[in-house]
Amino acid sequence: MGGMPGAGPAGPGAPAGPSDDKDGPAEAAPKDKGALAPVVPVPAQPEGRRRAQLFELHGYFRTRADYFHRLDLNITPEGLQQDTNKFFLPPAETPEPDLSSTEPGATLPNDANCTNQLLANGVSAQRIGNRCARRRGTGGANLRLRLEPTIHVTDTVKVHAQVDMLDNLVLGSTPDAYYGANPWAPIDLFTRTQLPPVQGTDSLNDSIVVKRAWGEVRFGFGLTLEVGRMPNHWGMGLVYNDGNGYDRGEVADITRMVDTDYGDSVDSVRASFDFGADKRNAIQVGLSYDWAASGPTTAQLFGPQWESGNLVAQTFSAEKYDNVHQVSAWIARRDDPSMLRRKLSAGVPVVNYGLKSWLRWQTLDAALGYTPGQLGQFDQDTSYSAALVHRRAWTVTPDLWLRINWRTLRIEMEGAMVAGRFRHAEQEDTAPADLDDALATATGVDDTRILQFGYALEFKYGLFDDRFHIGLDHGIASGDSTPPNATNYADAFPGTNDGLGGGSSLTAFRFNPAYVQDMLLFKELLGTVSNAGYVKPWAAFYFFQKNFSARLDIEFAGAMNNAGTLAGNKSLWGLELAGALRYHDNDDPIFVQVQYGAMFPFGAFEPEVTLETVNGPSVQILDAKAAQTVQGQIGIRF
């Protein structure tokens, strides 16, 4: 018969028969019945709570070099620089003060200027005039390494962050010879190495800057909860723009995603819910509460002794009613880029849309004109408590976004309005000694209304197997009667001493500066689209398996309010021409770009000024000249 329990296993092909084992009877079965019980299987961990323990890292590295020529548009006459222009002449071309003269503001030619340099080299006067007329430029190079890590705590719980290293560090700006800090390099000529930037020592920023950190929890029934300091973006980025580069579904989008300068973050707790039979076509509704501003903290007002771990366990906002509260609500239907590409490849038209509105309010605030002392140094003469006024402010900002895609066609638009009002105490120029008295009597009795609007439209169509793109960009931003200038055009309150342009309303809408439209007019000269309307036709051609592209832009812009221009009575800002050659690998996330731009100013940039001459005051209209730029970028996205 066959083998008995305890018998050795028969090898393949072994004959059957009685066992040859003569060591004795087989071992008795154990008396413990539980020992024979089957092993109880361990239940699987719930799917929604599995620990993924994955670390995901994204970001990019970029290096940029640029040269700008005549950004002052040649409208920087001596003594009028701050009145007409936010740009300055190169320091070597800026006149030196004449200390021997009793006349206020008297200057002398700079010893280091172009004329003196060339004279010392024996260059003729005619050649000096031609060469120095072009010596009105500035340039440099900078880099940034951006890390965007994600920690997958579980399948449904994540922690995100954004960290910039050497953020826009100007190459060559932190040598060991900086201000003679190294005795072996008393002047820059002997520098041997570059040092890490340290805030307050050789830089205004530290080497590492943590910009965002937030947590995300997804629930199985469609709810997502986020909290922390997170990117703030909506639509095309006209009002709020996270600065990550908007994905337009084009191969060359990588250039926009890496070559960015600005970006909005918000301290928020946010809940959103996706509903619909098919999550790929889900409609999302959401609600958030944002800490738009908390006012000064105890540490900022009273110094390090009020930091965490000293007098108190944690730093907190010093005043409750100076907080700027903000709530927002939205509804949107938006396909992510990968789903959008799948639908378009199937020839399906895709319509995405959304509506979002923000409401913010503030009860108290510091009076306009209040400038606190050194951070953490409480000064009874200019105390924050004396500066508080009844702001009684509120604003509401509705924003509508629409995008239509079909095959190679894209039509996208966003329009927004800002309405509200606030009270303020109108401040005249006040001597520092009288500042406390002026602030103590500030009660916030003057009322200012806010009504602004703007929109942007983008059209693109691809021809010849989507290798040739034609497009048209258009936008309008309402304006006011305050002209741009060096110190306050980027302000919400440009103008006279009261900070409100002498009027009772704020009507100038400003595009988010991260929504970049050009190279010079809006990006550099005006800072952003405001008091302006523009039309920009463009064309781009992709070749060599779409790894290379060339693009040409022609932008024409005018002012919405003539009184808000430098001229004060003319409406045309100018014409800008821009061209770019790009390499953007389809397989590797890298790009190389070379750009050229020229902006030809029109009458809006030509103010009428009074200049002092040997024959007395002379009224002249300044002749604005073209500005130019050459730029190069190298980026790696991961």
Q: What is the pLDDT of residue 582?
A: 95
SS3 string, 245-280, reads CCCCCCCCHHHHHHCCCCCCEEEEEEEEEEECCCHH
Kindly state the tokens that stand for 111.
Answer: 């010893």
Q: What is the pLDDT of residue 338?
A: 84
DSSP per-residue string spanning 173-223 = -SBTTGGG-STT-SSGGG---BPPP-BTTTBSS-SEEEEEEEEEEE-TTSE
User: Residues in the chain with pLDDT < 50?
Assistant: 1-21, 48, 79-82, 374-378, 380-381, 427-444, 486-492, 494-503
Nearest alpha-carbon partner for 253 in 556, 549, 464? 549
Kindly state the tokens that stand for 462.
Answer: 């691809």
Q: Strands 409-424 and 468-477: what pairing?
A: unpaired
Q: What is the pLDDT of residue 465?
A: 92
Q: How many Å separate Cα 141 from the centre of its chain?
A: 19
d(CA 506, CA 27): 97
DSSP per-residue string spanning 403-467 = EEEETTEEEEEEEEEEEEEEEE-------GGGHHHHHHT----EEEEEEEEEEEEEEEEEETTTT
Nearest alpha-carbon partner for 358 in 400, 327, 315, 317? 327
d(CA 191, CA 183): 10
Q: 511 phi and psi, to 5 degrees?
A: -65, 150
Cα angle 286-291-295, degrees, rounded to a multiple of 5: 165
d(CA 480, CA 491): 13
d(CA 125, CA 197): 43
What stretches of 304-438 adopt beta strand conformation (E)? 324-333, 350-366, 388-406, 409-424
Q: 248 phi and psi, to 5 degrees?
A: -100, 5
Q: Judge whether 231 and 148 are in contact, CB under 8 Å.
A: no
Q: Judge whether 412 and 402 are in contact, CB under 8 Å.
A: yes
Burial class (CB in 10 A: 0-12, 13-18, 19+), 500: buried
d(CA 524, CA 87): 9
Q: Judge whether 612 and 38 are in contact, CB under 8 Å.
A: no
Q: Judge whether 320 and 270 are in contact, CB under 8 Å.
A: no
Q: What is the pLDDT of residue 492?
A: 46
**Long-range contact pairs involving 95-100 (C-beta distance under 8 Å, separation at least 24):** none
Domain spans of the chain, in order of start: 82-101+108-138, 145-218, 219-637
Q: Strands 283-293 and 96-97: what pairing?
A: unpaired
Domain 219-637 is of which CATH architecture? Beta Barrel (2.40)
d(CA 353, CA 333): 6
d(CA 193, CA 62): 21
